[in-house]
Structure 1
Amino acid sequence: MKVKRQSGDSVDFDPEKLKRSLLSSGASMSAVEEILHKMTNEVYEGITTRNIYKKAYSLLKKNANFHAARYNLKTAIHLLGPTGFYFEQYIARIFESEKYETKTNEVLQGRCVSHEVDVIVKKNDRIAMVECKFHGSQDAASDVKVPMYILSRYNDLNQVTHKIFSQKDQITECWIATNNRFTTDAIDFALCSGIKLLSWDYPKDNSIKVKNYRDCLYPVTCLTTLTLSEKEKLLPLGVILARDLMGNPQKLAEIKISPKRIKNIIKEVTELCKCF
């Protein structure tokens, strides 16, 4: 059976892939098997992957809100757009969870021209620039032109010192982070050039997806008990991760959410962030 991706391409329907994604939500095997059984009669030739996701998400939500929230991860990261500003904040929070100091949206003078750097991180006296490539379409990929262009910016910046964390800092590493994936050529060029990559599925054992499931770095946009409008109001308040609401329910009160709903939202956050 063929299903249609967001890009318009047709691919074979893979029930095992769907099963793995459902299990990654934390739902039990019996719950996942029940969902797959219910979906058997709802998947048809030419159905879009988006519709498959929506059906599975709806069934998971009936099982448990926090399971649906975990399953919602990739879409939730996509909701940090459309400009990419909050995606940059999210990437900074990922580095902070790994004991990095961070700064965002810094303008630095290179040897030749000035550059706005999305995120700058420091750990053990090593300083890295992190360029973030946010894609509006979930099927888009960062191709080889991305690391080629960013390498030229890095080469201009690493030849001089900057006032970032101290008076004389030198950038010695370069990262590129994206919400989707990198093409094979982009990965090969980055490996050859010494650029570090972070994407939804790369590196395989330490990707954005893996970091989330391991360290509970779920963006607040994962939460099923919040409306889209409420999520958009929380982001400017500095609520980037769901766990930012733990012990901080006044942020919900600030956007006029009722006490009864606040209780339900905090319950979902607590269940979602049990690994924290």
Structure 2
Amino acid sequence: MKVVKFSGELVEYDKSKLSRSLKKSGASDEVVAEILNKIEMQLYDGISSKKIYKLAFQLLKSSANVHAARYNLRTAILGLGPAGFYFEKYIAKIHESLGFETTTNVVLNGKCVSHEIDVLLLKNDLVKMIECKFHSSNDAKSDVKIPMYILSRFNDLKDRSYRLFGSNRAINSCLIVTNNKFTEEAIKFGTGYQLEMLSWDYPLKKGLREIIDQYKIYPITCLTTLTQFEKEKLLAVDIITVKDLIEQNDWLEKLEISKNRIRKILSESHQL
């Protein structure tokens, strides 16, 4: 059975891969087996991976909203676009949860030119700059030109003193973050020049997906109980993560959402 990927590539249907992604949602083995059975009854040669994903999402949602929300995570991160402005804020929120002080969109003068830095981190008196590469589709990859370009920016900024986090400090290191994947050449280049890199699946077992699941730092865009309009309104007032929404849930009333729906939204949020 052939499946058409997002990129247009034809591949064999992989039941084990679909099973693993369903299990990552938190669904039980019994629910996963039932969903796989229902999906396979609707498969045909040349079916798109997008259609399989939609079938799985709807079946998970009928089982439990929270499972669908976790399964929808990668697509939900695309909802932090289209330009990636909210993705940068989301990456800052993740690092706040990891114990860093953060600030976003800072303009600094380098040795040769000025640079707008997506995120700056402070921990143990060391400053790290983060450059985010946001892709608006799941099949795009960050190639070797990305770390090459960012290395040149880092080199123009390092070894200089700036007023950061209330003191004069230098930028000590650089991290490149993407919502998708790096090519092998990009990883080789970044590793060779000691650039830290974080993508959906890199470093192995320590990628963005694992960090989000481990620390429960989910974006509000993964919530199945919110409409697209509501998500956009909440992002605009800097409610980026599900934790933000729980802590500032009065915004749900300000959006004139009914009490019954608010209970459902907060129930899904707390389960995540």
1:102-181 equivalences under 5 Å are 102-181=102-181
Q: 1:247 to 1:89 in 2, by over 3 A?
A: closer
Task: Return the alpha-carbon distance in structure 2 between the equivalents of residues 55 and 223 of structure 1.
Answer: 17
- Once the two structures are superposed, residues 119-176 of structure 1 have per-residue CA deviations (whole angstroms, 9 ceiling, x without a partner) of 0011101111100000011100000000001000000000311112134110010000
Alignment-derived partner of residue 270 in structure 2: 270
The equivalent residue for 2:95 is 95
The CA RMSD measured in Å over matched residues stands at 0.9
Q: Which residue of 1 aligns with 2:238?
A: 238
Corresponding residue number in structure 2 for 1:250: 250
Tell me how many residue pairs correspond in the alignment.
Answer: 272
Q: Deviations over 1:50-84 (max 9, x none)?
A: 11100000000000000100001000001100010
**Which runs of 5 or more structure 1 residues have no equivalent in the other structure?**
none
- Distance in 2, Cα, partners of 1:136 & 1:253: 31
Query: 2:25: which partner in 1?
Result: 25
Structure 1 residue 113 displacement after superposition: 0.6
Aligned-partner Cα distance in 1 for 2:75–2:45: 24
Deviation at residue 179 of structure 1 after TM alignment:
0.4
Q: Deviations over 1:17-68 (max 9, x none)?
A: 1000000000000000000011111121111111110000000000000010
Give the Å deviation of 1:248. Answer: 2.6
Partners of 2:110 and 2:47 in 1: how far apart? Answer: 50
For the pair 1:259 / 2:259, whether they are aligned, the reply is yes
CA contact (8 A) 1:111 1:159 kept: no
> Which residue identity lines up with residue 105 of structure 1 in the other structure?
N
How far apart, CA to CA, are the structure 2 residues paired with 1:204 and 1:20? Answer: 16
Partner of 1:172, secondary structure, is strand
- Pairwise CA distance, 1:259: 1.2
* Unmatched 5+ stretches in structure 2: none
Task: Using the TM superposition, give the Cα deviation of residue 247 of structure 1 relative to its aligned residue in structure 2, in angstroms.
Answer: 4.0
Shift of 1:256: 1.7
State the AA in 2 paired with 1:56.
A
User: Share of identical aligned residues, percent?
Assistant: 52
State the Cα distance separating 1:11 from its structure 2 match: 1.5
One-letter code aligned to 1:141: K
Kindly indicate whether the alpha-carbon contact (under 8 Å) linking 1:237 and 1:251 is maintained by their aligned counterparts in 2: no
| 1:94/1:217 contact within 8 Å kept | yes
Distance in 2, matches of 1:3 and 1:208, equals 26
Q: Determine the C-alpha separation between the residues in 1 that align with 2:166 and 2:190.
A: 29
Please report the TM-score for the alignment, with normalisation by the length of structure 1.
0.97
Instruction: Return the letter of the residue paired with 1:245.
Output: L
- Larger mean Cα displacement after TM superposition, 4-13 or 87-96: 4-13
Deviation at 1:112, TM superposition (A): 0.7
Q: CA 1:247/1:102 → structure 2, altered by over 3 Å: closer, same or farther?
A: closer
Q: Does 1:51 align with 2:51?
A: yes
Moved more, 168-177 or 41-50: 41-50
| Distance in structure 1 (CA, Å) of the matches to 2:166 and 2:205 | 33
In the alignment, the residues of structure 1 paired with residue 164 and residue 43 of structure 2 have an alpha-carbon distance, to the nearest angstrom, of 53
Give the whole-Å Cα distance in 2 for the aligned partners of 1:43 and 1:214: 33
Distance in 1 between residues matched to 2:36 and 2:204, nearest whole Å: 26
Moved over 2 A (4+): none
C-alpha deviations, 1:254-273, integer Å up to 9, x for none?
A: 2221111101100111111x
